Amino acid sequence: MKKAALILGVSLLAPALTAADSGDGLRQFLAARAARDAEIAHSIWTWAEVGYQETKSSALLQEELTKAGFKVEAGVAGIPTAFVATAGSGKPVIGILAEFDALPGINQDAVPDRQPIAGKQAGHACGHHLFGTASTSAGIALADWLKKSGTKGTIRVYGTPAEEGGSGKVYMVRAGLFNDVDVVMHWHPSDANAAGLDKALANKSAKFRFHGLSAHASGAPEKGRSALDAVEAMDYMANMMREHIPSDARMHYVITSGGSAPNVVPDFAESYYYVRHIDAATVESIFDRLVKTAEGAALGTGTTMDYEVIGGTHNLLANETLARVMFKSLTEVGGITYTPEEQAFAQKIYATLISPPDELGSQSRVQPFDYERPGLGSTDVGDVSWTVPTVGLRTATWVPGTPAHSWQATAAGGMSIGYKGMNVASQTLALTGRELFTHPDTIAKAKAEFDKRRGPDFKYRALLGDRPPALDYRKGVPGGGQD
């Protein structure tokens, strides 16, 4: 995409401002940043760096925060691409999460028909390039407002790598980086503008590795023990197990290694599994049964097996007090208006979607507070939400009806439709932050609700145990990175 086409006028990239916005200039500050934010997001979209390998993406956001006067601590929680950027002083402390990892294998140009970019192995099909950029921009706006208004408080931007299966935030929670935070805000790209009591499933993932004996598959098959047979036996038993787990649970897998040549009995093979459910204890129970299928597969094929837990995340803990504040802010900002060029782009994308749940035009409105779409994905924001009161929103960075992890999401996220939704998010986060900084009673109410929802006996425990960050979980995979 040519730079001239990328950097549109601010009035085209930012939601329209009204007379009611003229108070402290917070929204105007972010509208004026819209073109710069588009540049940043486009760079991260172009790099498309997968989990724990987001070196350039993380550095760019850190540089932007440093220029704005933030004190940046990089390489936190044992993760080279994780960072914490801080501005202001005193209480309350409000954090904003910023993601920036891409997905392997979903490569697409910013055009409305299926068109991969030659030589590119990953893409931002979940919009984290927009996520990280808007969160960074909102943090900068709030730091500027805190300073100019003389308001007491601390704003932190958390650079959180490897959300897509790497559970980066879990290690940051485990390292105590949120222990003194009063409220955490986040957002996510979507096909609709909504702020409410979103759901997400708890998740535990692992790579199951089988080791056998290689041999000539035709000349001496009796001398071999196939690791691929073990993977297939495990997968078969796991698929039989689906009948005997809760109907709202999810199990899915890929075979990440299955041998190199048909005439060689594979001495190594690997499957990568996810287990999901709304209840973390149920996830752990199903996962333990899954391990038994792997043990049985190894026993039956004369191979050996070991496994590595890659990720583990809790479900999202809702906070209605904070969600209503976020919803009020989103309603003030409003939805997205397409230009004629964007409308033509959207119509072409819409025609490729299967049974889209929303109609074209819905991007211009904010969904009601009780709007709910099934939360069947997972996110490491869940672990943050069980540690500190947390609130999020979604904005229409994609054409209505577009599913996450699709080429259509990658396409819209690489052009002005995505950038407009991103600016809605940055403005909404900033307005919500201002409301919380100036209303300590709201934070106190949110904390009381948080304590009640967790229960008096809750003790946080990471589902991935005490393992160090899985920094190499995407290495060897095309493109380098759970949603």
* Distances 321 to 152, 263, 382, 389, 430 between C-alpha atoms, Å: 22, 62, 17, 10, 17
Residue range 46-101, pLDDT digits in tens: 999 999 999 999 999 999 999 999 999 999 999 999 999 999 999 999 999 999 99
40: CATH = 3.40.630.10
Report the pLDDT value the prediction gives residue 483, as an integer from 0 to 100. Answer: 43
Q: Is the pLDDT of residue 7 over 90?
A: no
Q: Is the pLDDT of residue 404 over 50?
A: yes
Q: Of 312, 327, 353, which closes a domain? A: 312
Give the pLDDT mean for 186-193. 97
Residue range 131-143, pLDDT digits in tens: 999 999 999 999 9
Q: Of 312, 339, 364, which closes a domain? A: 312
- 3-state DSSP of 234-292: HHHHHHHHHHHCCCCCEEEEEEEECCCCCCECCCEEEEEEEEEECCHHHHHHHHHHHHH
Instruction: Report yes or no on 158 lying in a domain.
Output: yes
Does residue 126 share a domain with residue 33?
yes
Instruction: Report yes or no on 468 lying in a domain.
Output: no
Report the pLDDT value the prediction gives residue 114, as an integer from 0 to 100. Answer: 97
Give the pLDDT mean for 268-272. 97
Q: Of 277, 312, 347, which closes a domain? A: 312
Of all residues in the chain, the percent with pLDDT exceeding 90 is: 89
Does residue 369 share a domain with residue 255?
no
Report the pLDDT value the prediction gives residue 17, as an integer from 0 to 100. Answer: 65
Which range (20-29, 336-345, 389-398) has the least confidence? 20-29
Of all residues in the chain, the percent with pLDDT exceeding 70 is: 94
Does residue 213 share a domain with residue 193?
no
* Res. 16 pLDDT band, cuts 50 70 90: low
Residue range 339-389, pLDDT digits in tens: 999 999 999 999 999 999 889 999 999 999 987 766 778 999 999 999 999
Does residue 295 share a domain with residue 174?
no
Q: Is the pLDDT of residue 294 over 80?
A: yes
Give the chain's radius of gyration (CA, Å).
23
Domain hosting 399: range is: 3-199+316-454
User: Residue 129 has which token pair?
Assistant: 């390039």
Instruction: Report yes or no on 354 lying in a domain.
Output: yes
Report the pLDDT value the prediction gives residue 303, as an integer from 0 to 100. Answer: 98
CA-closest candidate to residue 255, choices 232, 289, 239? 232
* Res. 198 pLDDT band, cuts 50 70 90: confident
252: CATH = 3.30.70.360
Q: Is the pLDDT of residue 4 over 70?
A: no
* Res. 22 pLDDT band, cuts 50 70 90: very low
Does residue 240 share a domain with residue 346?
no
pTM, entire model: 0.91
C-alpha 222/C-alpha 225 separation (Å) is 8
Instruction: Report yes or no on 39 lying in a domain.
Output: yes
Give the pLDDT mean for 174-187. 98
Does residue 126 share a domain with residue 20?
yes
C-alpha 7/C-alpha 458 separation (Å) is 48
Average pLDDT value over all residues in the chain: 93
Planar angle of CA 228, 230, 232, nearest 5 degrees: 70
* Distances 320 to 87, 325, 363 between C-alpha atoms, Å: 27, 9, 24
Give the pLDDT mean for 17-31. 73
Give the pLDDT mean for 202-215. 97
Instruction: Report yes or no on 357 lying in a domain.
Output: yes
Q: Is the pLDDT of residue 18 over 60?
A: no
Which range (6-15, 76-85, 445-454) has the least confidence? 6-15
* Res. 24 pLDDT band, cuts 50 70 90: confident
Q: Is the pLDDT of residue 478 over 90?
A: no
The number of distinct structural domains making up the chain is 2
